[in-house]
Amino acid sequence: MADRFLASRTALVTGSTSGIGLAIACGLAAAGAKIAINGLGTPEQIDAALQAVRDAGAADVRHFGADLRDPEQIEAMMAAIDAWSPLDVLVNNAGIQHAVPLAEMPTQKWNDILAINLSSAFHSMRLAMPGMAARGYGRVVNIASVHGLVASVNKAPYVASKFGIVGLSKVAALEYAAAGTRDSGGITVNCICPGWVETALIEPQIEARRNALGNPDATRDDGVRALLSEKQPSLRMSLPEDIASMVLWLCRREAHNVTGASFPIDGGWTAQ
């Protein structure tokens, strides 16, 4: 039987209609939490995400469709969630990327990436954390990236946003460090910094690397190793469920003194 240690809790996971976010939502659901999901998709995709979270064991699950580029929509979403069930766990996972050289980066892409990857986390945190402090328990987990710790070319707004969310998390961690108690669980703010994670979005890159090997017998695993060889020494990707497991551990009461930290899950990328 699953450990339902979040049975009395409510969690919001942004960008959770697919990929890493959906895996996190399902992990929190399996631990007993009510789940608010947020993200894009067709009605069918959103229904499928809701069903997946329900099947994972959520006490209740609802979709909130705020456009995270718009602070007013974020405020309306947070107010609606608070009226439904006040938040105990906030996972800022939503993110977008556009990879071109700095001089070629469209201004609107810069604005959108910073808004979704960084500013939306600021807005959700400022609205959720006072209530967490009043109740003595709260967990904010910001899904940053290995690019919140090191840079790569052609990713100026993405790297800026991820470095920014690491800094934002440290400030919030300090401001709320003394809230709550060891018994209540306290308020913590941390970042998870994944390297390569196996999601549908990167399948075209794997296939391109496999084809570039020029070997008709090359496998998908050969393509993965070729793709990761430039950055990630383990030569293997994490699964979305691996990221979810770290989120779950950070939500435990025993993690009450783990705050202001950034956890690479990157196969040694940032150890180099």
CA atoms within 13 A on the CB side of 256: 14
260, part of any domain: yes
pLDDT confidence tier of residue 188, bands split at 50, 70 and 90: very high
Tell me: the pLDDT tens digits for 206-215?
A: 999 999 999 9
Same-domain status, 172 and 62: yes
- Residue-number span of the structural domain to which 124 is assigned: 10-197+238-265
Same-domain status, 181 and 131: yes
pLDDT confidence tier of residue 200, bands split at 50, 70 and 90: confident
Mean of pLDDT values over 75-84? 98
CA 251/CA 47 separation, integer angstroms: 26
Same-domain status, 51 and 161: yes
Same-domain status, 210 and 152: no
Same-domain status, 112 and 244: yes
272, part of any domain: no
> What pLDDT does 19 receive?
95
pLDDT confidence tier of residue 178, bands split at 50, 70 and 90: very high
In this predicted structure, the answer to whether residue 265 has a pLDDT above a threshold of 80 is yes
Same-domain status, 52 and 135: yes
182, part of any domain: yes
Mean of pLDDT values over 264-270? 98
Q: Residue 101 belongs to a domain with what CATH number?
A: 3.40.50.720
3, part of any domain: no
> What pLDDT does 162 receive?
98
The domain tally of the chain equals: 2
Same-domain status, 152 and 45: yes
Active-site positions read 158
Same-domain status, 257 and 226: no
In this predicted structure, the answer to whether residue 1 has a pLDDT above a threshold of 80 is no
pLDDT confidence tier of residue 264, bands split at 50, 70 and 90: very high
Same-domain status, 232 and 145: no
Same-domain status, 219 and 137: no
Rg (CA), the chain: 19
5, part of any domain: no
180, part of any domain: yes
Mean of pLDDT values over 17-23? 97
**Mean of per-residue pLDDT scores for the chain:** 97
270, part of any domain: no
Q: What are phi and psi of 264, to 5 degrees?
A: -75, 135
271, part of any domain: no
Same-domain status, 258 and 220: no
| The length of the chain, given as a count of residues | 272
> What pLDDT does 201 receive?
83
Same-domain status, 206 and 243: no
Tokens of 68: 């995270």
pTM of the model: 0.96
- DSSP assignment of 210-250: HHHTT-TT--HHHHHHHHHTTT-TT--PBPHHHHHHHHHHH
